Structure 1
């Protein structure tokens, strides 16, 4: 990928993430921002599980969507905003762990459409375990009132 379009890309991603009430509600934190890559971490919470005690697929999808989207935002021009227009998730293993790591990385940057790939890992005893993967398609939004970052 090219150089960052803005020296503020980390600040823009952090500011936008801070406005996502859903991330705060589920206890997710933005822990790493690089050009074209972000990481979000979240502790296990019984309140976010399905009937078998695994992290619910909807929660996995929500956080991976944010990871992919913020990776895309990091490579966008400063005056643009990001919106997801499509994603596909593969649930690879039950979501069991003490913590979860969600990593989004830009696979294909573009001026209007960006593709990002995400991976979710369960962290507990032993090595981190890959539990889900996502491919997301994100739109670069320009000139829409009320959409910022």
Structure 2
């Protein structure tokens, strides 16, 4: 997933706010979790841990999510967050996370 920078997403210094990064982690991890299941389902977050690696300075945030373990009810997802410049030339790894999702439908 990729989201462009908007003023409401940044701190005064111009970097993305940590809450935006955590929200992107949550949404991206949810999509990864539901992609693991064959039927149409709904998942909720059980646990979400984000490690912020460096200030998130860039024109957009990009998330890359991977299902580490997909069980019948519980899935564990790893999501990496990067900032990219306007032309997607420069990429900087700004956060890494581990998310547990539970299938409820």
CA distance in 2, matches of 1:56, 1:86: 20
CA distance in 2, matches of 1:71, 1:94: 25
Q: Does 1:74 align with 2:35?
A: yes
**Please, which of 132, 135, 149 is the counterpart of residue 98 of structure 2?**
135
**Please, which of 68, 83, 92 is the counterpart of residue 122 of structure 1?**
83
Gaps of 5+ in 1: 1-39, 143-149
Q: Which residue of 1 aligns with 2:65?
A: 104
Higher relative contact order (CA 8 A, sep 6+): 2
Q: Any idea what SS the aligned residue of 2:39 has? A: coil
Q: Which residue of 2 aligns with 1:113?
A: 74
| TM-score, scaled relative to structure 1 | 0.65
Q: Which residue of 1 aligns with 2:7?
A: 46
Q: Which residue of 2 aligns with 1:3?
A: none
Deviations 1:1-56, CA, capped at 9 Å, x for gaps: xxxxxxxxxxxxxxxxxxxxxxxxxxxxxxxxxxxxxxx10111222112322100
**Please, which of 50, 56, 63 is the counterpart of residue 17 of structure 2?**
56
Which stretches of structure 1, 4 residues or longer, exceed 6 Å deviation after superposition?
Answer: none
Q: Which residue of 2 aligns with 1:12?
A: none
| TM-score, scaled relative to structure 2 | 0.90
- Higher Cα radius of gyration: 1
Gaps of 5+ in 2: none
Between structures 1 and 2, the one with greater strand share: 2
> What is the aligned-residue RMSD (CA, Å)?
1.4
CA distance in 1, matches of 2:40, 2:78: 23
